[in-house]
Structure 1
Amino acid sequence: MSSATAIELNSNGTSAASPKSSASLLVINTRNEVLMVLRNQTSWSGSFVFPGGNYDETQDTSFKATAVRETFEETGILLASESQRENSETKSAVIQEKISNLRRVIHMQQSALKYLLDHYGLYINEDRIYPFTEWVSPRELRRRWHTRFFVTFIDKDTTKITGARIPTSTESNREIAEVRFIHISEAIKSFNRKELSILTPQLYLLRTLSGIIGDSVISTNEEREKIRELALGDFGRMTLNPITIYPRPNVTKERTYLYEGDEARGGPKGCLHRNVNTFDQDGLLVEDKLYRTFDVFSSIDPRWLSKPARL
C-alpha cells in the first residue's frame, strides 16, 4: 500500500494513522479455558489480551504464522506439529528440549522461527487455525492496528510446552507480565467484578464464545464443531471498523463504539451492533455492554466481510 492510499482523514480534517497489520490467537484448551496475557509496558499496559503482535514480512508467510509466532514468543506455547513421528517413550522429552531451545534462540534474536521449525522438524498446521473476525482500530487513535483474530484448540496432536511461562529477562524486554489460561465465562465474570481489565475486541469475542460453551468445563466435540462452524462461516470473515461516539460532551471516559450493521450506521431499523463502554482515569476499560441483535450464525450482512487477504 502506498503512502498516498494509506492516509485517512478524521472528521476534523486531520489525518488518521494508517493501521499496522497484526494477528492474535485464541487458544482454547480441553477445559474451555482461553490463553491470555497481561500486557506490560505497551499500549495496553495493565490489560489482559490474547497473545499476538505485528506481522513481520521477514519472518511470517501468513497472518496465521504471525499469530503462532507471537503466541510462542509471549507464552512459550508452540502450536506446531512434528514432521515425522518419534518413539513415544522419548518423544515428550525430545519435543520439550526442542521447544526450549527454539524459544531461547528466538528471544536472543539469533534466528527466525520459520527456519528453526524446519531445523527441528516441526511445522505450523494452518488448517487447524481458523479466522475469527478482523478488527480495525478507531480512526481517532494515535496508534492503530488491523488485527486478524484466529481461534484454535489444544488437543493430543498439538505440540506445546508443559505450562505457560513469561520470558526471562535475558529472553525479552518483558512485554508480558503474566500468562494464564482462564475459563471463557470466568474471564467475563472477572471483568464484570473489576478483577481483570480486558480490551473491547477480546470481550466481544469472549462473549461470542460464551454463548456457545456457557459454563461448561469440558470442551466437547459438539462445542468445538460449533465454534469451527462459526469461524468458517460469515462471522469468521467479518471485519469490524468501529466508529467512536462520545455520548456526553467533554466526558471522554464514556464511549460508544458503533459497528457495521448498527441502525445508527445505516443498518436496518432496530438492528443494534455496538458497545457502550466506560473507562477509568488511567484509560482502562471497567464496564462493557455489548448490544448485538442479530444471529452470528445466520444473519451476517455480506458487506461486513473482509476483503481477501494478500497473504
Structure 2
Amino acid sequence: MSLARPSSSLIITAPWRAAAASKADQLPYNYRILMAKRVGGGSFENAYVFPGGLEESSDSQWTTSSHKVCAIRETFEETGILLTSPTTTAPKNTDFASLCANRTLPDIRQIGRWVTPREQKKRFDTRFFLLSIKETDTQLLDQIKSAAVQESELVRLDWFTPAEILQANLAATLPLFPPQFYIVRELSRWRRWQDLAHDPLDLGDTDKPIEPLLLKHQEGMVSLFPGDKAYPESTTERSPSASLDDCDGPLHRIVMKRAKTGGFVECRLLKQLPSDPAPKL
C-alpha cells in the first residue's frame, strides 16, 4: 500500500455575471464553479477537477497553513489566477513566493478532506477549500477573467453551474472522480452565491478523512463511504461488510460507470444518513 501524499485543491465560485453570460436568467443558480479539464496520460486523466496539486516544502514558510497555501499556489500555477490582496498581474511562470511578498492571502474555508483508496497506485490526502467570490470583490473578479491554463497539466478551464456539471456527468459528457462529484452534489444544495459566501456550510467534520472503498458492481462501479451499511467497520478490512444490493440502509455511496477516456460518468449519489442536513433552497 502506497502512502497518500499531502495535497490541496481549491473550489472557486463566482457570480454568473463575472464567470459567464449565457442563459443566465434561465438558470436555477446565480453562480458558477471553475472546473479544469486534465490532460490525458497523467493523474485524473481527461476528467474535470478543481485546481490543485501536491504540497511543496515552500508552502510551510507562510503564517497561513501550508494546506491553504498549497491550494492558492497550485491555483495560480495552473490557471494564472493570483488570489492575493492587493491583486497584481503576473507574467506566466512567475515565482509564486516572490509575487506574494507583502501581500495578504485570502481566507479560504476547508470543506472536506479525501484520501485516495489504498488499492490505487497513486494516492493523495487532499484537503478541499472553497473561495466564494462576491460581486463586490472587483479585483478578484478581474483576476478570474484573465485565467489561462497551464498546458502541461490542463486542457481547458470552464465555468459551470452545479446543475450543468451534474447534468453533463449524467449524460456521460463530463467525467468526474468521486470527490469532485460528491462535493459538487453537496454544493448544489445552495442556489445563491450570497449563501455560499456567508453560510457556515454545515458539512460535518471537514478535516475528518474520507477514504472510499471502490468496488466493481453489476451497475458499473460503487464508491462506498463511511456510514454506509456495507462500508467495513475495521480500518484494515477492505471488503464490504454487507451485500451491495442490500439497500436496507443506511446508505452512503456513489453508483457510477467508468468513462472510456478516464474518470467516471452517470454518477448517482445514494445518501440516507440520520445526520443528513436539510436541503438549502
TM range (shorter): 0.7 to 0.9
Question: Which TM-score applies when normalising by structure 1?
Answer: 0.70
Matched, 1:229 2:205: no
Which residue of 111, 115, 121 corresponds with 1:136?
115
Taking the aligned partners of 1:204 and 1:105, their CA distance within structure 2 comes to: 34
Query: Deviation of residue 141 (structure 1)?
Result: 0.6
Partner of residue 48, structure 1: 48
Taking the aligned partners of 1:151 and 1:256, their CA distance within structure 2 comes to: 27
8 A Cα contact 1:26 1:151, kept in partner: yes
Partner of residue 190, structure 2: 212
Taking the aligned partners of 2:159 and 2:113, their CA distance within structure 1 comes to: 23
Shift in CA distance, 115/46, structure 1 to aligned 2, threshold 3 Å: same
8 A Cα contact 1:164 1:180, kept in partner: no
Which residue of 260, 266, 270 corresponds with 2:249?
270
Partner of residue 99, structure 2: 116
Alignment of 1:1-311 (within 5 A): 16-31=1-16, 32-41=31-40, 42-60=42-60, 61=62, 62-82=66-86, 95=87, 98-101=88-91, 103-106=92-95, 113-118=96-101, 121-126=102-107, 129-155=108-134, 156-157=136-137, 159-160=139-140, 161-167=143-149, 174-213=152-191, 219-220=193-194, 222-226=195-199, 228-230=200-202, 234-247=204-217, 254-265=220-231, 270-294=249-273, 295-297=275-277
Taking the aligned partners of 2:144 and 2:184, their CA distance within structure 1 comes to: 24
Partner of residue 88, structure 1: none
Task: Kindly indicate which of the two structures has a greater share of residues assigned to helix.
Answer: 1
- Aligned residues: percent identity? 27
Equivalent position amino acid for 1:219 in 2: W
8 A Cα contact 2:172 2:259, kept in partner: no
Query: Deviation of residue 260 (structure 1)?
Result: 0.8
SS in 1 for 2:227: coil
Give the aligned CA root-mean-square deviation in angstroms: 2.3
CA shift digits 1:116-171 (9 cap, x unpaired): 211xx422023xx111111000111111101100111113347432514334xxxx
- Computing the radius of gyration over CA atoms, which structure comes out larger, 1 or 2? 1
Question: Which TM-score applies when normalising by structure 2?
Answer: 0.77
Taking the aligned partners of 1:191 and 1:272, their CA distance within structure 2 comes to: 21
Taking the aligned partners of 1:259 and 1:150, their CA distance within structure 2 comes to: 20
SS in 2 for 1:69: helix
Partner of residue 237, structure 2: none
Taking the aligned partners of 1:40 and 1:21, their CA distance within structure 2 comes to: 21
SS in 2 for 1:236: coil
Taking the aligned partners of 1:210 and 1:158, their CA distance within structure 2 comes to: 25
Give the unaligned 5+ runs of structure 1: 1-15, 83-94, 107-112, 299-311
SS in 1 for 2:188: helix
Equivalent position amino acid for 1:39 in 2: R
Shift in CA distance, 27/173, structure 1 to aligned 2, threshold 3 Å: closer
Equivalent position amino acid for 2:122 in 1: R
8 A Cα contact 1:24 1:52, kept in partner: yes
Partner of residue 307, structure 1: none
8 A Cα contact 1:38 1:46, kept in partner: yes
